[in-house]
Amino acid sequence: MLELRSLCKKFQTSTGNGRMALNNVTLSLQPNDFVTIIGSNGAGKSTLLNVIAGVFPADSGQIVIDGEDVTSLPEHRRASLMGRVFQDPMQGTAGSMSIEENMAMAYKRGMRRGLSKGVSVKHRDFFREKLATLGLGLEDRLQEPVKLLSGGQRQALALLMATLSRPKLLLLDEHTAALDPRTAQEIQELTNEIAGRGNLAVLMVTHNLRLALSVGTRTIMMHEGEIVLDVSDPERSEMTVSDLLKRFHDARGEQLSDDRILLEV
């Protein structure tokens, strides 16, 4: 489903040597894999998702999604293959546009005919039906601007939009981190439900180690641009957070340093 082969990405620094944000990352995902990604600050987690999405090119290596080599494709040409949700609820949706206009943009993402804000009656019914599945009453607010929604409602909409055009891959970068605990849990449950429908590989970055072990099917840990740990169920399902921290310590000879690490749910 997703094949990453020896991906490297270096950022320039003022001191001249550059910083290796991705160092020879190789990863293979099956169609229904739900992978949680953890790791210290600056480990390269967001860079990994950005390079997959084509926000910036990899320096070397190869990215294959669903059999298609996308390594040299620009971001907009990869858009139909994947959905993304970011930490900031403001980032995934356009506040001044209505709910249905946002959904129309998401639906048409990656289509050749280009983007338009127009919403047909047929699409409106489809969007209403999809929104109803969220159970937030948004199906009755189709023409309201998105800026009137709460952070949680907006993130639920972003998640729905990210999967509207049935992508093969869903990239989530701390997508519940800016929400209050209850809303974060609701958005996480929605995420699990979407992933559970199948035919979708998910990469989800989180700082909550307990959550990382309890959702999905596999957990990878990154450190200094490398994947230092990769555990799948059933081995993973037996692991505790302390096991995880110990495995990190054993592999790197140091403690995991993460200023936002969350051990409790």
Ligand X SMILES: Nc1ncnc2c1ncn2[C@@H]1O[C@H](COP(=O)(O)OP(=O)(O)OP(=O)(O)O)[C@@H](O)[C@H]1O
Task: Select the span of 45-53, 158-166, 209-217, 235-243 touching ligand X (CB under 6 A).
Answer: 45-53
Spatial contact of 204 and 215, defined as CB atoms under 8 Å apart: yes
**Residue whose CB is less far from ligand X, 101 or 173:** 173
**Residue whose CB is less far from ligand X, 166 or 260:** 260
Binds 92, which of ligand X, Mg ion, none (CB < 5 to 8 A, cut-off by type)?
A: none
**Residue whose CB is less far from ligand X, 18 or 31:** 18
Return d(Cα 244, Cα 167) in angstroms, integer.
31
Return d(Cα 70, Cα 58) in angstroms, integer.
11
CA R_g for the chain: 19
CB of 46 to Mg ion, least distance (A): 3
Residue from the set 46, 50, 98, 153 that interacts with Mg ion by CB under 5 A: 46
Q: Does 19 bind ligand X (CB under 6 A)?
A: yes
Q: Does 208 bind Mg ion (CB under 5 A)?
A: no
Binds 133, which of Mg ion, ligand X, none (CB < 5 to 8 A, cut-off by type)?
A: none
**Residue whose CB is less far from Mg ion, 46 or 98:** 46
Q: Does 153 bind ligand X (CB under 6 A)?
A: no
Q: Does 45 bind ligand X (CB under 6 A)?
A: yes
What is residue 3's three-state secondary structure? strand
Q: Does 41 bind ligand X (CB under 6 A)?
A: yes
Number of residues that bind Mg ion (CB under 5 A): 1
Judged by the rule CB under 5 A, the positions of this chain that interact with Mg ion are 46
